Structure 1
Amino acid sequence: MFKYLKDKLSRHKSDPFKKEGLKICAIYLVIGLFWIYFSDRIVNYLFKDEHAILRINTYKGTAYVLCTALILYFLISDLLRKVEIMKRKLNESYDELSASNEELQSYVEELTASDEELRTQYDQIVEYGEKLRVSEEKYKSLITEMQLGLALYAGNPGDDLYHYKVVDTNYSHEVLTGFKQKDILGKYFYEIHVDMEPENAAKLIHTITTGEPTRYERLQKKTNYYYEVIAYRPMDNQLAIIVNDITKRKQAEGRLNFLSYHDQLTGLFNRRFFEQELVALDKDENYPLMITMIDINGLKLVNDSFGHATGDKYIQMVAKVLIEGTRDQDVVCRQAGDEFIIFSPKTDDAQMQKIIEDMNEAARKMDVNSVPLSLSFGYCAKKSSDEPLPEVMKRAERYMYKKKLLESSSVKGKTVYTIMTTLHEKNPREEQHSRRVSQLCEKMGVAMGLRDDEVKELRTVGLLHDIGKVAIEEGILNKPGKLDEMEWEEIKKHPEIGYRILSTVSDLSELSEYVLSHHERWDGKGYPRGLKGEDIPLQSRIIAIADAYDAMRSERSYRKALSKEYAVSELEKGAGTQFNESCVNVFIEQVVKDDDIYECDLCSI
């Protein structure tokens, strides 16, 4: 039995409450056995009376109950105390467990949130990685395709510039520098740039050392590109070189530099160069320094007659004559519109005279619109440093103007008649018209009793009255139909153009006033100035009548010639409004009444 109890106790060691229960039972059992076994023996030994033994047994039972109750009370109280302690501990453990559970739950939630955050971050990292990949491809493609050349060099710590290797280049770098990527990748700097200028190499070394960007410009002889190099250090032991094609900019700079010292129209040196060269040539080794001034005769006349485009051609041909007629050591400059100057080092008067004769001969063989080139020369030599250069130039200029006064008038006179020939070639009908108007004016002068010189002047101005039409477009002059408003406005410019042409010739300057006013009206409604009545010169009034009469009596592209009667009636209608009435009367009664030049065989068309 004890073995059984021992086995039970050992089996329930892990359960303290069962152990305590077994312990109480065992104590109760031991006490009970002990009490039963020994109490009866003691009572039987001490007492022999059965009634006494019965009372004693009753007392003994009561005492046993009380003792066992008391013992059980203490044992059960102890058990309950332990149970209470255990309960309290269990409650505390439960609270701790609950707190731990809450904490664990919090940790689980945090872990869950962290997991979500990590998952989100992972997704973002994947997304950013993809974007970075796309961006790298994009920018790599951009760098590959961009117009700027790019080369990346890399070296080891302590390497100098010449031991940096090429690690990457783009296509534009290949085009601009001529270095193919496959030929230079992995090569050292010194193997590629064998002709690098020391000053440029020093700039690149400075960039590698300090990290400060640098730039320089260079002509690549291999490709004939002029490019700008910008170098910077992306990371330690790296050198990035950006190559920018500036060939067009350099060409533009070259053109600007050329234009700053050259005349754009002729290509000759300009006044700015002249002022600088003047100082540079004024040295003893260049004496005698010959200074020759040249002026174009009749350029304004050419401009007014044929337009500035023709005038520009005239100037260009003059420049050609001067260039071809001078020597290599001579310097030819264009000072202004029609003025040129030549510096001739170590040249005496005889040499200069021969050069001028040759240039004059060449000029006479050249013409623009049948107008021959005409130049006036004046020269003077500076023979020592004592002579002020401005004074020498003034003497050359005075000499040139003296020659110009002698030559210009005859040249301009020839030019005027060349202009008339050109007009008649453009429109043959104008030649016949001018001759008839000239005859009518001459007859009118005689009929009005003018002096012989005035009649001669009328005949001449009759020939020249439409000279301004030389500047009118040929298509307008020869148009088969009527002119539109814009074309008519162009035609109305010819009196002013004629005035400008004739006013340049001193002998014809007075006639220019008559030409300017030959389309004015007696009532003030004419052009170009709107003159009225007696303000219109007599010669202009006469030309107006003769011009109108011939226009009606001549055949036009859009109509046949009108009759004499119709023309006379139109003049009579215009008398007092368009024409001077007294002049119309003389014209009708004395010029065309009995002798009509349109019926004269000599004047037939």
Structure 2
Amino acid sequence: MAKKISSAFNSMADKMYQLVHNLETKVKERTSELERANDALNKTKEELYLILDSTAEGIFGIDLEGRCTFCNNSCIYLLGYKRQSDFLGKRIHDLIQYKSPEGELVPFEKSKAYRTLTTGEKAHVTDEVYWKADGTSIAVEYYSYPKYKNGEIIGAVITFLDITERNKTEAQIRYLSCHDTLTGLMNRSYLEEALIVNDKEEKLPISIIFADLNGLKLVNDVFGHATGDNLIRRAGNILKKSCRTSDIIARVGGDEFIVLLPNTEAAAAQQIVDRIKLELMKETVNEVQCSMALGFDTKISTYQDIEKVMVNAEGEMYKEKFNLRKGFAQDTISSLIRSLQKKSIKEKDHSEIVAKLCSDIGKAMGLPEDEVKKLSEAGYLHDIGKVALDEAILSKDELNEHEKQQMRLHPVIGYRILNLFDATLDLAPGIYGHHEKWDGSGYPKGLKGQEIPMISRIISLVESYERRLARHGQPDEEAITSIFKELRAEAGTVFDPELVELFIQMMQKKERD
């Protein structure tokens, strides 16, 4: 009996051992499975955080109370913070979204994120800012998504980008699409839209001023396009100063401007034109007087075509431009000569003496009175192109090679100046060639002999005589004889030989008389 009991007990013990062993094995297997699952979960979490931290977008999550539950590195960086603990557990709205771009306080309940939490609506926002740790703000584009668990909203996830630079670029593009980059005024495209928008009965009467800047080509040719741009900017500033804030001023061409004046009768438009002219009189660019030809017309009835009104204004401008042309030419040339003589006082005496001697030689040649006058004017203006040269070059007796190259430009510049005006058009070729030489070794074109205009040959001879005479200070008879000898030596190479003899005979006769 005892043996049976012992056998049964041993059998039971074996079974219990087997059960315990199997249980331990199962526990170990289950533990291994859990560990593997946990490792996989941790790996997934690490990969998820790696993905979150690799994105350029800032990403953060909030619970139903608006407290931050997670945030990625981009969120921390974009908002100027240092670590996650700056956000986690805190109501993020109070850190980054508590204020509007205008500085007005915004409660959490008014935010798009709160609406997402309460309604489940997704939100896409591009016109708000987030405030950074240093108190500055960035423009943001953000999306707010609800976060669900078991069919219920438990929070929200917000992704955002800093679009500050993008907004600046878009604003710049919008600005350039309707503004002139040089003056900051509106451009033709904007004006065309403004004409449509303002062409309404409630805007009557509508006046339009058409303005054309005088002398731009002259300034560009003589002083360079940078100075020309300065002239355009000055003109634009004068228009802005003279007009009202409600007026629309546009640069519509290189030297053309249009001013649209809603609710402005003709008398008021005339007052604005008068103000513009008054301000122009105060401005000069490199001694060139700022000047504009101005014309205007007024639409007083809905039956009038606004385009026709603008054409009429342009026509009035051209009438004034024609009437001002002669006076502007005289004033401009006088201004340039004054500027040159201010830079170099010796140029004044030189021009006057050359003009007198040119007149004398013209009379000695038996030329008609109008030709003698032309010679005198050419003699006086022959060095006008030097106005574009630096004052330091004009004051030096000896020039280096670079300065010589600059000096050799003055006949070309003088030609450009005189070629712009009707009154001096016939003088331009003579000025252009007054540094040509009889043997073809002169400049700017290397003309020779009879190819050189007569006016050029006369100026070349006369101004050379005057320069040599000036070097002697108070020349005596011996000095003058020496100069005549030098001129004869250069006859046939530098100077027209017949002119040399005529000139010397004329000067000797004057001495005898």
TM-score category (smaller protein):
0.7 to 0.9
Indicate whether 1:518 and 2:434 are aligned: yes
How far apart, in 1, do the equivalents of 2:458 and 2:111 lie? 83
Q: What is the letter of the counterpart of residue 284 of structure 1?
A: E
Question: Does the 8 Å contact 2:430/2:456 carry over to 1?
Answer: yes
> 2:181 maps to what in 1?
264
Indicate whether 1:287 and 2:204 are aligned: yes
Indicate whether 1:301 and 2:221 are aligned: no
| Max Rg structure | 1
Indicate whether 1:498 and 2:414 are aligned: yes
> 2:370 maps to what in 1?
453
Question: Does the 8 Å contact 2:121/2:146 carry over to 1?
Answer: no
Cα distance per residue 1:312-352 (max 9 Å; x no partner): 33222222221121122211111112211111112121111
| Aligned 1:425-574 pairs, distance under 5 A | 425-479=342-396, 481-484=398-401, 486-555=402-471, 563-574=479-490
Flag the 1:224–1:539 CA change in 2: closer, same or farther, 3 A: same
Query: 1:418 aligned to 325, 328, 335, which one?
Result: 335
Match of 1:256, SS? helix
> 1:53 maps to what in 2?
none
Shift in Å, 1:209: 10
Going by fraction, where is helix more abundant, 1 or 2?
1
> 1:401 maps to what in 2?
318
Question: Does the 8 Å contact 2:140/2:164 carry over to 1?
Answer: yes
Cα distance per residue 1:408-467 (max 9 Å; x no partner): 210221111111111111122222222222222122112211122222221111111010
Flag the 1:227–1:567 CA change in 2: closer, same or farther, 3 A: farther
TM-score between both structures, scaled by the size of structure 2: 0.75
Shift in Å, 1:203: 11
Match of 2:184, SS? coil
How far apart, in 1, do the equivalents of 2:112 and 2:80 lie? 16
Question: Does the 8 Å contact 2:69/2:88 carry over to 1?
Answer: yes
> 1:226 maps to what in 2?
139
Shift in Å, 1:242: 5.7
Question: Does the 8 Å contact 2:59/2:74 carry over to 1?
Answer: no
Question: Does the 8 Å contact 2:56/2:74 carry over to 1?
Answer: no
Shift in Å, 1:229: 4.2
| Aligned 1:571-586 pairs, distance under 5 A | 571-586=487-502
Cα distance per residue 1:345-400 (max 9 Å; x no partner): 12121111122122212222332333332222111112233222222211111111
How far apart, in 2, do the equivalents of 1:472 and 1:529 lie? 20
Flag the 1:224–1:163 CA change in 2: closer, same or farther, 3 A: closer
Match of 2:185, SS? coil
Question: Does the 8 Å contact 1:331/1:344 carry over to 2?
Answer: yes
Question: Does the 8 Å contact 1:148/1:243 carry over to 2?
Answer: no
Match of 2:208, SS? strand
How far apart, in 2, do the equivalents of 1:139 and 1:568 lie? 96
Flag the 1:246–1:551 CA change in 2: closer, same or farther, 3 A: farther
Q: What is the letter of the counterpart of residue 415 of structure 2?
A: Y
Query: 1:186 aligned to 72, 89, 105, which one?
Result: 89
Flag the 1:191–1:587 CA change in 2: closer, same or farther, 3 A: closer
Cα distance per residue 1:23-44 (max 9 Å; x no partner): xxxxxxxxxxxxxxxxxxxxxx
> 1:44 maps to what in 2?
none
Q: What is the letter of the counterpart of residue 225 of structure 1?
A: I
Aligned length: 446
Q: What is the letter of the counterpart of residue 370 of structure 2?
A: D
Indicate whether 1:166 and 2:55 are aligned: no
Shift in Å, 1:163: 5.3
Question: Does the 8 Å contact 1:292/1:396 carry over to 2?
Answer: yes
Flag the 1:532–1:198 CA change in 2: closer, same or farther, 3 A: farther
Unaligned runs of 5+ in 1: 1-131, 557-561, 597-605
Shift in Å, 1:519: 1.6
TM-score between both structures, scaled by the size of structure 1: 0.65
Shift in Å, 1:226: 2.0
Farther-moved stretch of structure 1 (249-258 vs 532-541): 249-258
Percent sequence identity over matched residues?
35
Cα distance per residue 1:27-62 (max 9 Å; x no partner): xxxxxxxxxxxxxxxxxxxxxxxxxxxxxxxxxxxx
Cα distance per residue 1:560-599 (max 9 Å; x no partner): xx943443333223322322221111112213x3557xxx
Flag the 1:524–1:229 CA change in 2: closer, same or farther, 3 A: farther
Flag the 1:409–1:173 CA change in 2: closer, same or farther, 3 A: farther
Query: 2:237 aligned to 320, 326, 330, which one?
Result: 320
How far apart, in 1, do the equivalents of 2:403 and 2:461 lie? 23
Shift in Å, 1:215: 8.3
How far apart, in 2, do the equivalents of 1:400 and 1:359 lie? 14
Indicate whether 1:351 and 2:268 are aligned: yes
Question: Does the 8 Å contact 1:148/1:173 carry over to 2?
Answer: no
